[in-house]
Amino acid sequence: MPELPEVETIRRGLLPIVGHTIVGCDVRRRDVVRDRTNGSPNPRRGSIEPSALGVGSVVDELVRLGKQLGIVVRDPCGQERVIVVQLGMSGQVSLVDSARIPDAKHVHLVWALDDARRVCFRDARRFGGVTLLGSRSDLDGFWAPLGPDALEITAGQLRDGLGTSTRAIKAALLDQGVIAGVGNIYADEALHHAAINPCERCSDLRTDQIRALAKAIRGVLREAINARGSTLRDYRDPSNEPGEAQLMHRVYARAGLACLSCGHVIEQCRIAQRSTCWCPVCQPINR
DNA sequence: CGACCCCTGCGC
DNA sequence: GCGCAGGGGTCG
């Protein structure tokens, strides 16, 4: 579900918890947690240390790279830990006050704050989860495989990430190692804005097209954040409010409809196992 | 690289 | 019932 704009909207919606102490964590489904606080490469078996979940710590900072959210916490000894949240397709994070009982289905984790509010992690499909890191510096290593954050990607970074690959540009945009934060919706939208065919080989893109694409990615994501993310079905911000960025989609999920720019019928195909929509007139293959 | 799998829910 | 869905890891 969530791509960069949705995760950034969640990050902003959670900012009110900064400075508050986590007093408890109810782990309702253990298998959504990957505990790496013991330094071993593989998730540890057995019970999860409450401290690894942030219990007894103050929330210091909320950071984001691409589609991942990092909740940085600090315990009374000054030890920093990070709870990395990945939402997968159906993940949600909500901030509820004490009166609300988080009894919805598929709520897997519930953190209790010192002021009785709760932070809930919900994920029906369980493609998402949280990873517990033992120190702030571990976050750099954990995020090392990710490419530059899509919100601020430069044309040079995008060119370097695409390299001389012959795969379709759409597939490359979905590769978080090339650029972090673009998913199926905003890949299609950015390609349409940049007038690039999603099947175009990366190696066939001209420099001016890569420049246009980097700009389109930044612009599409910025506007989507301003609209507080796209709600197709599940997505809600931490206050349970839907976003409105779906109203701005120009090609995504519009196969068979008229292009909003030129009126031609929007086509659909599959690239990298994901449905892909584009306008054959606005987005011609290079010749 | 692409193919396949993970999982639940929803619309047809 | 079946196919599809905003993600991503692993395999060959």
In this prediction, residues A159-169 reach a mean pLDDT of 96
Residue A66 lies in a domain: yes
pLDDT over 80 at A231, yes or no:
yes
Within this chain, do residues A69 and A161 fall inside the same structural domain, yes or no?
no
Distance separating alpha carbons of residues A29 and A56, to the nearest angstrom: 21
Catalytic residue among A67, A136, A228, A254: A67
Residue A134 lies in a domain: yes
Among A143, A164, A195, the domain boundary falls at A143
In this prediction, residues A103-107 reach a mean pLDDT of 89
Tokens of A253: 């999920």
CATH of the domain at A38: 3.20.190.10
Say yes or no: Cβ of A125 under 7 A from any atom of strand B.
yes
Residue A287 lies in a domain: no
Residue A18 lies in a domain: yes
Within this chain, do residues A116 and A59 fall inside the same structural domain, yes or no?
yes
Residue A129 lies in a domain: yes
Q: Cα(first)–Cα(last) distance of chain A, in Å?
A: 35
pLDDT over 90 at A131, yes or no:
yes
User: Using one digit for the tens of pLDDT, what is the confidence trace for A169-183?
Assistant: 999 999 999 999 999
Say yes or no: Cβ of A67 under 7 A from any atom of strand C.
yes
pLDDT over 60 at A42, yes or no:
no
Residues A113/A119, Cβ–Cβ less than 8 Å: yes
A47 — pLDDT class (breaks 50, 70, 90): confident
Say yes or no: Cβ of A255 under 7 A from any atom of strand C.
no
* Per-residue pLDDT, A103: 72
Catalytic residue among A2, A5, A198, A238: A2
Domain count, chain A: 2
* Per-residue pLDDT, A12: 98
| B7 C1': nearest CA residue | A125
Within this chain, do residues A186 and A99 fall inside the same structural domain, yes or no?
no
Within this chain, do residues A27 and A67 fall inside the same structural domain, yes or no?
yes
Annotate chain A with three-state secondary structure.
CCCHHHHHHHHHHHHHHCCCEEEEEEECCHHHEEEECCCCCCCCCCCCCHHHHCCCCEEEEEEEECCEEEEEEECCCCCEEEEEEECCCCEEEEEECCCCCCCCCCEEEEEEECCCCEEEEEECCCCCEEEEECCHHHHHHHHCCCCCEHHHCCHHHHHHHHCCCCCEHHHHHHCCCCCECCCHHHHHHHHHHCCCCCCCEHHHCCHHHHHHHHHHHHHHHHHHHHCCCCCCCCCCCCCCCCCCHHHHCCCCCCCCCECCCCCCECEEEEECCEEEEECCCCCCCCC
Cα angle A151, A208, A218 (rounded to 5 degrees) comes to 10
Burial of A247 (0-12, 13-18, 19+ CB in 10 A): exposed
Within this chain, do residues A8 and A124 fall inside the same structural domain, yes or no?
yes
CATH of the domain at A190: 1.10.8.50
Within this chain, do residues A65 and A189 fall inside the same structural domain, yes or no?
no
Q: Give the CA distances from residue A187 to residues A232, A243, A245, in Å, rounded to whole numbers and listed in that order.
A: 16, 18, 14
Residue A271 lies in a domain: yes
Among A143, A175, A210, the domain boundary falls at A143
Residue A284 lies in a domain: no
Per the annotation, the verdict on A198 as an active-site residue is: no
* Per-residue pLDDT, A35: 94
Residue carrying the six token digits 């919900």: A122
Within this chain, do residues A137 and A8 fall inside the same structural domain, yes or no?
yes
Ramachandran region of residue A119, left (φ > 0), alpha (ψ -120 to 50) or beta?
beta
Within this chain, do residues A80 and A169 fall inside the same structural domain, yes or no?
no
User: Using one digit for the tens of pLDDT, what is the confidence trace for A192-221?
Assistant: 999 999 999 999 999 999 999 999 999 999
Residue-number span of the structural domain to which A77 is assigned = 4-143
Residues A48/A31, Cβ–Cβ less than 8 Å: no
* Per-residue pLDDT, A155: 98
Q: Is beta strand A80-86 parallel, antiparallel or unpaired with respect to A129-133? A: antiparallel
Distance separating alpha carbons of residues A21 and A33, to the nearest angstrom: 20
A52 — pLDDT class (breaks 50, 70, 90): very high
